[in-house]
Amino acid sequence: MNASLDNRHHGLERRLQAEEWYQALRRADPAHLDPEVIGRWQAWLLDAENRLAFDSVTRVLDAVHLTWKGKTRNPDEIASDPYDGSVRILDWLRSHPRPVAAPTAFPRNRPPALLALAAALIAVAFAVGTFVWRPGATIAVRPEVAKPALVYQTDGDASEDVRLQDGSTILLAAGTALSVSFTHAQRSITLTHGKAWFHVAHKPHWPFIVTAGRGQIVDLGTAFVVDREPAGVVVTVTEGAVQIDALPLSPLAKISVNSIPNSAATVRLTRGERISYDRQGVTGRRGRADIASATAWMNGMIEFDGVPLGDVVRTMARYAKPKIFVTPEAGRLPFYGLLSTKDGMGGFLWSLPQILPVSLVRGPRGVCVRMREEPPGESMSAGC
């Protein structure tokens, strides 16, 4: 389990390139702005991952410039620093908590009490994977603020199990991110993107609540799948029952009840039922779900039932390395099939010309899928 946001879209190398460009452009003299340099930068930006890296480096460095206080570090401290950049700083800090005492020679601009508190909070924040909540008498005195959310994230290629301290299990599909935050009042999970199956250790007085998009799913003794698809959130109950609520703070989240024979803004689902909602409310009717197909991904299988080829490729791209481009027209072809996420993209890709009227073209940046009769120019515009 890669329990962090680490590998999201950019390796260190890409990040450095982004930083180089940022510096060069920030410092460039307007009178001598070289169009050739700008052109090279724009060519570099054409790559979506480069663009992401560049934008996130910009966000970070803009904030750094605004907030920089010009502090200097003790030269001895610098010279004797054992950190060598081979692990992430996050991991380094977990195993090497900094001493709490502030060095007097280099005064901080914060009162010592606050500093100690901050250090304590940081220490808690970076304690590896331990939840501080324990049922029992200590509840009343435990300050809420000291429990930061833990973030779990899976990379593109594999699903992962997470076992929570309360006995619940979460199975994250590939390319999923969620955060877990337990307070004495409730267990809160936020599904930021992707898809996960929750098997909840049911505790009547300690609600287990999954927030996904503009809605919340409250466990009523259950296992269920929550899938954040581009068009909305799909909830499928595989065991027991859940209740789906509008988010109380958001007027947009009013779940429309027209199609639902249930009380306002709350829908109750039981085993084998599914529902979908988006920011407008419930859009998919409550219906019987095919549990086998909703959970196929848990066995490394994904079922596509008339899904546009473009979406299929985007989904499969989470599991395989080769870059695949699809022309818009080919991207609209409906695809039916059960694909294994463990075989990578290869088999699926090369079988396409047999099942759909498409052909494959090798381009400089990857493989392009286009309609058989499409002129080659189309594949250029698709990005390959």
Partner 1 sequence: MGALPAAKAEREQALAEIARNHHGALLRFLMIRTGSKAEAEEIAQEAYAKILALDRPGTISFLLGYLWRTAAHIAVDRKRQNSSRERGNFRVSRDESFEPSSETVTDERERLRIVEEAIDRLPPRCYEAFRLRVIEGKKFCEVATDLQISERMAHKHVARALEYLQYCLDVAAMEKQAR
The interface with partner 1 within residues 12-41 (CB under 8 A) comprises 12-13, 15-16, 19, 22-23, 25-28, 30-31, 33, 35, 38, 41
Out of 148, 272, 284, 344, the residue judged to bind partner 1 by CB under 8 A: 148
Query: Toward partner 1, which CB reaches closer, 27 or 288?
Result: 27
* Sequence-ordered alpha helix ranges (H) in the chain: 12-27, 35-45, 48-67, 75-79, 89-95, 112-125, 291-294, 309-317, 328-331, 346-355, 376-381
Read off φ and ψ for residue 323, nearest 5 degrees.
-75, 130
DSSP string, 125-175: HTSSS-----SSGGGGGS-GGG-PPEEEE--TT--EEEE-TTS-EEEEPTT
Q: Which stretch binds partner 1 (CB under 8 A): 67-75, 196-204, 227-235, 338-346?
A: 67-75
Total residues contacting partner 1 by CB under 8 A comes to: 71
Contact region with partner 1 (CB under 8 A), list: 66-74, 159-167, 225-233, 282-290: 66-74
How far is it, in rounded angstroms, from Cα 30 to Cα 82? 41
Residue type present at position 293: S
88 binds partner 1 (CB under 8 A): yes
Considering beta carbons, is residue 28 or 338 the nearer one to partner 1? 28
CB burial class (10 A; 0-12, 13-18, 19+) of residue 302?
A: buried
* Identified binder of partner 1 from the candidate list 90, 132, 185, 355, rule CB under 8 A: 90
**Would you give the DSSP letter of residue 326?**
E
- The residue assigned the tokens 């410092």 is 27
Task: Tell me the window of 184-192, 266-274, 312-320, 327-335 that interacts with partner 1 (CB under 8 A).
Answer: 184-192
In the complex, the smallest distance separating the C-beta of residue 67 from partner 1, rounded to whole angstroms, is 4
Closer Cβ to partner 1, 148 or 300, answer by number: 148
| Token reading at 229 | 């698809």
- Nearest approach in angstroms of CB 223 to partner 1 is 22
Cβ proximity to partner 1: between 279 and 285 the closer is: 279
- The radius of gyration computed from the CA coordinates of the chain, to the nearest angstrom, equals 25
Site for partner 1 in 206-265 (CB under 8 A): 211
